[in-house]
Amino acid sequence: MNEINGDIIELISKYLNWKDTFNFRLLSKNIRNIFKYCGFINREILIKNVEINKIYSFQNISVYDVSIIKYLNLKIIRKFKVKNINIDTAITDYLEYLNNIQSLCLSNTNLSKVIPFTNVHTLDLNHTRVTDVSALGNVHTLDLSYTRITDVSALGNVHTLDLSYTKITNVSALNNVHTLNLSSTNVTDVSTLGNVHTLDLSITEVTEVSALGNVHTLNLSGTNVMDVSALGNVHTLNLRRTKVTDV
């Protein structure tokens, strides 16, 4: 069988409820002896015989569908996204299968627990229910914006960290982070962040910035900062909507 007709494709689509997120053109190349009959399609057999080698975004799928993770050839997938779905603690049973994904997006889900992603390079958890991030210290690029986290003491070795729109207050452990987004947070004390390369403090209550003279790129827009006399060496400085009058 060289081609799969449109009726079978439509049937598969409805059965799996993936809508338009699955590339059915790969099916004709990778499925062997599955469609002897059109009346019944076994989901597990289908997934075991489909080798996915491109980037997919699985949207609007149920917890049952998330279980297909363990059947995918994750060794050749570089980016994987599970977005805008309702999941419960059952998803944690499958997170271990995703540990070798280079870029993993679990944003906009109700995920509340994560595992130590020791091999994941880029992890997007924005708009999730995650609160404990102590296991994520080895991630290179980490997006925790719009989450419920309060303790970031374990994230000092993260290279690029987005904590915007969180309720964190203590960022003393983040002095070695290269790129740090603290926009719209409750942070007030940034005295330990002098080694950060790119720092976004926009729309915060920060007023004292004398320790940030070595920061390369600094965003202070929407703050009440008045004195920037110590920032003469900052390469790129955003002072829009501040109270600075003398530069």
Of the two residues 4 and 168, the one the predictor is more confident about is: 168
Q: pTM for the complete prediction? A: 0.76
Comparing C-alpha atoms, which of 147, 143, 181, 188 is closest to residue 164? 181
Comparing C-alpha atoms, which of 207, 216, 209 is closest to residue 177? 216
- Calculate ∠ Cα 7-57-1, nearest 5°: 30
Residue 12 CA: distances (Å) to CA of 6, 35, 40, 43 = 10, 11, 10, 9
Average pLDDT, the chain: 76
Q: What is the DSSP string of 33-48?
A: S--S-SS---HHHHHH
pLDDT per position as a tens digit, 191-216: 999 999 999 999 999 999 999 999 99
Q: Is 117 exposed, middle or buried (0-12, 13-18, 19+ CB in 10 A)?
A: buried
Contact 188, 168 (CB under 8 A): no
Does pLDDT of 6 surpass 50?
no
pLDDT per position as a tens digit, 114-168: 888 888 999 999 999 999 999 999 999 999 999 999 999 999 999 999 999 999 9
Residue type at position 63: V
